């Protein structure tokens, strides 16, 4: 049975929903879905990379590429054959942001310039892909960063790792002043690099990134003392509550066509 596609996150509904050629004759109609429109907006208009677009829409890079190619063909079909272009439908949800009908394209999830944090802020990083905890630390292309104050998440942001791998990722996280890393499998060398950087490790984690961080803050997240890089077996040994570690851990989808 095929896995259902993930609901695509868009910043706002399109302001203009149809475009017609200057002709009395109708040559047909092309339907561009709202998620296809959003990919075009982010990649062609906002000049984002496919990786940044994927983080913004909370989907995979391969899905962005598929949507982008479909959208570009539909645009060319409309232009070349003089067809009416309509924007409607799709499999998407509107970003809530701080407004009732979307964030108004004001969110900055892929912005790499993360604000410096004060002493009262705990910063958590999660290896990230398509909303889930990515299972291979040394190959993660994205991290989701959470700032926490008084036990509450005050900021969230997805950042690209810029091709860093294994031990280099420890320096990447140290530069971001990360206090705690949540991940799946991770090798011994990377574990040592994190320890040297003073970053607490909660490894062997599967499931949703947001769920993992909420469990971490509640003191109920179970993690492995020695997370294995090969995580396919999902075997976890020596589990502990994150809150009991040496440092402590405080802290509408629219149906488509």
Please state the domain count of the chain: 2
Would 105 be classed as within a structural domain? no
Range of the domain at 27: 8-94
Q: What is the pTM of this model?
A: 0.50
Give residue-wise pLDDT tens across range 143-177.
899 999 999 998 888 888 765 555 678 888 988 89
Report the CATH number at residue 193. Answer: 3.30.420.130
What is the DSSP secondary-structure string of the chain?
A: -PPPPPPEEESS--S--EE--S-SS---EEEE-HHHHHHHIIIIIS---HHHHHHHHTS-HHHHHHHHHHHHHHHHHHHHHT-EEEE---SEEE--TTSTT--TT---TT---PPP--TT-EEEEEEEETTEE-SBGGG--EEEEEEEETTEEEEEEEEE-TT--THHHHHHHHHTT--EEE-SB--HHHHHHHHHTT-EEEBS--SBHHHHHHHHHHT--EEBSS--S--TT----S-EEGGGSSS-----PBP--
Q: Are residues 88 and 136 in the same domain?
A: no
Give residue-wise pLDDT tens across range 109-122.
434 456 666 778 99
Predicted local confidence at residue 236, as pLDDT: 40
Q: Are residues 167 and 216 in the same domain?
A: yes
Confidence at 100, pLDDT banded by 50, 70, 90? very low
Report the CATH number at residue 58. Answer: 1.10.10
């Amino acid at each position: 049975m095929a896995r259902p596609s993930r609901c695509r996150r868009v910043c706002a509904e399109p302001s203009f929903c149809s475009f017609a050629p200057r002709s009395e004759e109708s040559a047909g109609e092309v339907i561009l879905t709202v998620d296809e429109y959003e990919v075009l907006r982010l990649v062609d208009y906002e000049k984002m990379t496919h990786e940044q677009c994927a983080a913004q829409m909370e989907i995979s890079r391969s899905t962005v590429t598929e949507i982008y190619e479909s959208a570009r063909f539909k645009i060319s079909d409309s232009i070349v054959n003089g067809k009416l272009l309509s924007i409607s439908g799709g499999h998407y949800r509107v970003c809530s942001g701080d407004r009732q009908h979307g964030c108004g394209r004001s969110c900055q999830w892929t912005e790499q310039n993360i604000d410096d944090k004060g002493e009262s802020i705990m910063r958590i990083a999660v290896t990230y892909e398509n909303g889930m905890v990515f299972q291979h630390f040394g190959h993660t292309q994205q991290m989701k960063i959470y700032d926490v104050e008084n036990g509450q998440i005050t900021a969230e942001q997805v950042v690209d790792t810029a091709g860093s791998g294994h031990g280099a990722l420890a320096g990447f996280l140290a530069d971001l002043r990360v206090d705690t890393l949540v991940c799946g499998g991770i090798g011994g060398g990377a574990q040592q690099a994190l320890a040297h950087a003073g970053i607490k490790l909660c490894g062997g984690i599967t499931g949703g990134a947001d769920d993992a961080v909420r469990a971490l803050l509640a003191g109920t997240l179970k993690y492995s003392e020695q997370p294995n890089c090969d995580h396919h077996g999902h075997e976890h040994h020596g589990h502990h509550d994150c809150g009991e570690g040496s440092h402590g851990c405080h802290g509408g989808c629219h149906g488509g066509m």
